[in-house]
């Protein structure tokens, strides 16, 4: 008997925890398929670089999954990211201010591997918060 | 997908496509809510994907428009823009009880800021 594959929702939930919260950037090798399509950060490497940049800018960042929808192999997640601005963020020097911003990520996953990702975030609200406007 | 979820997805699709719901479809708790209708003219919305799960559903809605007024501190550029909205719904017996919408700005702002 073979072990049952995790559902797409389970796969995505685990990946978010490992990659975005525990900052285990190398876990992409376990969770992302060989033919992974990255539609927001260009590539697996681009995804890791972006995550490293966000971690430098907001070292205490944490993503809370607020809602997760799964239908077939598609998973859509609404999250809140919270963190303190302690490093350079796209040309903005650290302000020490905190941010709390909503984002959505859409994944396609099957057989325990994520095959596609695209993300959306409210950067206008984030910039307003870190600038203290 | 259960038949209830299929019905809910249909109800959400019909709600989004009904022109009478336009104002409801533009409500958001984001700080720029009051700027939206002046910042963007010729707004068109189309449901691109609807996921239904139990009593809930979420729609990914594509938007096109023209940047005709100030938005988040950026003056009008006259450019044609593409946007994305997510709207989450709670339903009962195929009726929408509540919904809340959220506009992406991560892909929107660069379209207003980039040099022509």
Task: Tell me the pLDDT tens digit for each residue of B45-84.
Answer: 999 999 999 999 999 999 999 999 999 999 999 999 999 9
CATH architecture of B3-113: Roll (3.10)
Domain map (residue ranges) of chain A: 8-131
pLDDT of residue A39: 97
A102:B102 CB<8 A? yes
What is the model's pTM?
0.95
> Closest-CA residue in chain A for B83?
A120
Domain map (residue ranges) of chain B: 3-113
Among B55, B56, B59, CA closest to B14: B59
For residue B86, list chain A residues with Cβ-Cβ distance below 8 A.
76, 78, 104, 120
Please give the CATH topology (third level) of the domain spanning A8-131: Nuclear Transport Factor 2; Chain: A, (3.10.450)
Q: How confident is the model over A110-114, as a mean pLDDT? A: 96
Kindly provide the ipTM of the predicted complex, given to two decimals: 0.95
A121:B109 CB<8 A? no
């Amino acid at each position: 008997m073979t072990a049952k594959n995790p559902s797409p929702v389970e796969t995505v939930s685990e990946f978010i925890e490992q990659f975005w919260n525990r900052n285990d950037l190398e876990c992409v090798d376990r969770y992302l398929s060989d033919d992974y399509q990255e539609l927001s950060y260009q590539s697996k490497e681009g995804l890791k670089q972006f995550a490293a940049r966000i971690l430098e800018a907001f070292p205490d960042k944490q993503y809370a999954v607020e809602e997760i929808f799964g239908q077939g192999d598609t998973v859509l997640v609404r999250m809140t990211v919270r963190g303190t601005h302690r490093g350079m963020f796209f040309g903005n020097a650290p302000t020490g201010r905190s941010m709390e911003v909503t984002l959505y990520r859409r994944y396609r996953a099957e057989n325990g591997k994520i095959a596609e990702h695209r993300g959306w975030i409210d950067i206008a609200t984030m910039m307003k918060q870190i600038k203290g406007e | 997908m259960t038949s209830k979820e299929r019905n809910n997805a249909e109800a959400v699709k019909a709600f989004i496509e009904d022109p009478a719901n336009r104002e409801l479809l533009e409500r958001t708790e984001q700080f720029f809510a009051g700027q939206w209708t002046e910042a963007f003219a010729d707004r068109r919305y189309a449901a691109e994907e609807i996921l239904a799960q139990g009593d809930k559903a979420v729609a990914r809605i594509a938007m096109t428009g023209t940047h005709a007024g100030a938005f988040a501190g950026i003056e009008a550029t006259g450019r044609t823009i593409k946007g994305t909205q997510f709207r989450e719904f709670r339903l009962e017996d195929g009726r929408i009880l509540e919904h809340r919408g959220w506009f992406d700005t991560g892909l929107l702002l660069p379209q207003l800021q980039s040099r022509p």
